[in-house]
Structure 1
Amino acid sequence: MAAETKHHSTHIPQWKKDEIEDIKKLISAHSAVGIVGVHGIPSSQLQLMRKNLRGMADVKVCRNNLIYRALETSSDDVKQMNKYVEDQTALLFSNEDPFKLYRILEKGRASAPIKAGGIAPRDIVVQKGPTSFPPGPIVGELQSSGIPAGIEGGKVVIRETRTVAKKGDVVNAKLASILARLEIQPVELGLDLRAVYEKGIIYESEILAIDETKYIGDITQAVQRAFNLSINAAYPSKATIGTLLAKAASESRNLAINAEIIMPDFIGELLAKANTQMLSLAQVASQKDANAISNKLRETLLTSPKEEKEPEVVAAKEEKTEEHKKKEEDETAIAAGLGSLFD
């Protein structure tokens, strides 16, 4: 009798065995296996989601005990996914990267009205302003749901922004009906990805939820700071050598001119500098004694303000243009070097 009882308790219908084997085959055939929550998703909406995922992922809905048994009889790594099997659960099979898979599921979410007895997923706020309702009983219905309403200009208006339900509150039938008529849809329907197994690693949803814009911004900022540090520390690398050489050449040129070191490359600037200094000295000397300078030099001083004023402006503009060009070259070098810092 005991043997017969044992045989009866361990008997599993063939269809369940087939279901378990099918799950195990799908696990073996895909690089990524996900556990998703499907609570509250209507059958029609679930079918649409499965259709939208075609070619990227397969969704299999079956009993939790069969999912649990299939995972339990898989490898030790996959077996750990059992702790995510709860409530209404489905399996997701894909060859996509887990992070890409998470993004795909998030983009596939759709807004929906909240049902009577549903839990508010967030604070539900009704904004003040006109509605599309004509005057009628709707005014009383709005007011009885805690929404201040009235009639203005022949239309029903909401007179004050009001939070009608806090996150976690149970929404009654009356409020759910009013929210639906106001086309307020606080519920997001979608496959709730709890965890994904890939190559011996389990990624929970908190890890997969990455803000791509912030992530890319952080990397870009890190590269820029690394580049600036390398330039300021004069650390040569493939990405910085061009800028460092340009900086060194500019600094050496300025040093040579300020130190009045006579070299072929700088002789023009040095002669121009000397000429300017000579004219300034001659101007001061002539103010003290008109005979201190020659007539030719005096004529030069008399004509230089009109003749040299415009060239000075042009020279300044040219110098600014050169500086601007150099700045553009440096910026181009920086932009070109950002990606190669990590080569």
Structure 2
Amino acid sequence: MSVVAAQRRYGGKKGELYAKLQRLPREYSVIGVSKLYKVKASLINEVRRKLRGKVVMLGIKNRLALKALREAGLEGVDQLEPYLRGQTMLIFTNMNPFELSLLLEKSKVEMPAKAGDVATSDIVVPSGNTGLQPGPVLSSFKQFKIPTRIESGSIFVTQDTVVAKAGETISADLAALLSKLGIKPIRRGISLEVIYWKGRIIPGEQLRINPEAYADELRAAHAEALALAVGIGYPTPEVLPALLIRASAEANALASSAGYVTDENAAAVLAAAHAQAEALAQVLRSKGWS
């Protein structure tokens, strides 16, 4: 639908958005759906600024968005319907979905917890000096089973303590204690609820990977595969150097044990022969031979 036709149908800005929603899927291969729960406009604008030229972020009513995407002829786009609930934003890009998810995660900021917030990850009170003086606040530490001791006029936490697990609701008392400790456990920002990519739906949680941990797993898998290939003598370009070194060592060991002299093992064979001769001489001397 053209902009003019959309404006005639819906009027004004709504018509422009509708026409834009039909055009963007032809320009971008990835459509992300983001929930805007407690996300400030200033943060959205900052992310939009950082990713300018890479993504198009569009806020629009869910029913209108779904209708426009359907009319754009996207295969399987109805799969997005369950995710278009509440306040949402559509993100259009040609970036790899995993790269987009990683960039959005990095753009998040840490915020103080408020009563009713949901922990986005396990909240840990670390061991060490809290900088707080003993007083009524000690009851809060006891309330959340945080072990403490008093030292040099300050409250020390004696061991790392999980005070809330991911997904749990933060109480007013816990929020107050975390604030006193200077802990900002809530990460606010734009999260991908789901990705539509080439007719498929990818839930946001499947896109959230730890690059460092993933790299460690790949390195470990490579090392295990290399060790297995060397162990069974399977020749590949990566394995051949190790196989040649092992074969050379085994050949030298066999030649040395058989007394077969080569340029590589001459010193070892002579040293072994000398040692055997010395041992024989000692036996002969012990029997009275000189």
Q: TM-score interval w.r.t. the shorter chain?
A: 0.7 to 0.9
Could you tell me which amino acid in structure 1 is paired with residue 202 of structure 2? Y
Number of aligned positions between the proteins: 268
The yes-or-no answer on 1:130 pairing with 2:161 is no
**How far did 1:266 drift?**
4.6
**How far did 1:280 drift?**
2.4
Correspondences of 1:219-298 after superposition (within 5 Å): 219-261=218-260, 266-267=265-266, 269-289=268-288, 292-293=289-290
- Indicate the larger mover: 103-112 or 238-247: 238-247
1:316-341 deviation digits (Å, cap 9, x = unpaired): xxxxxxxxxxxxxxxxxxxxxxxxxx
Which has the higher Rg, Structure 1 or Structure 2? 1
Give me the whole-angstrom Cα distance separating, in 2, the residues matched to 1:57 and 1:253: 63
Could you tell me which amino acid in structure 2 is paired with residue 129 of structure 1? T
**How far did 1:38 drift?**
0.7
Could you tell me which amino acid in structure 2 is paired with residue 16 of structure 1? K
**How far did 1:89 drift?**
0.2
SS at match of 1:36: strand
Identity of aligned residues (%): 28
CA contact (8 A) 2:25 2:31 kept: yes
1:94-114 deviation digits (Å, cap 9, x = unpaired): 221110100001111112234
2:49: which partner in 1? Answer: 51
CA contact (8 A) 1:32 1:197 kept: yes
Higher RCO (CA-CA < 8 Å; seq separation 6+) = 2
CA pair 267-229 structure 1, distance change in 2 beyond 3 A:
same
Give me the whole-angstrom Cα distance separating, in 1, the residues matched to 2:154 and 2:215: 47
Could you tell me which amino acid in structure 2 is paired with residue 232 of structure 1? G
2:95: which partner in 1? Answer: 96
In the alignment, structure 2 segments of 5+ residues that lack a partner are 1-8
Give me the whole-angstrom Cα distance separating, in 2, the residues matched to 1:46 and 1:53: 11
Give me the whole-angstrom Cα distance separating, in 2, the residues matched to 1:228 and 1:165: 42
**How far did 1:87 drift?**
1.1
CA pair 66-114 structure 1, distance change in 2 beyond 3 A:
farther
Give me the whole-angstrom Cα distance separating, in 2, the residues matched to 1:156 and 1:263: 75
Higher helix share: 1
Give me the whole-angstrom Cα distance separating, in 2, the residues matched to 1:218 and 1:56: 30
1:25: which partner in 2? Answer: 23
CA pair 62-239 structure 1, distance change in 2 beyond 3 A:
same
Give me the whole-angstrom Cα distance separating, in 1, the residues matched to 2:217 and 2:12: 54
**How far did 1:202 drift?**
2.4
Could you tell me which amino acid in structure 2 is paired with residue 247 of structure 1? R
Normalised to the residue count of structure 2, the TM-score between the two structures is 0.75
Normalised to the residue count of structure 1, the TM-score between the two structures is 0.65
**How far did 1:269 drift?**
4.1
Q: What is the Cα-based RMSD across aligned positions, in Å?
A: 3.7
1:199: which partner in 2? Answer: 198
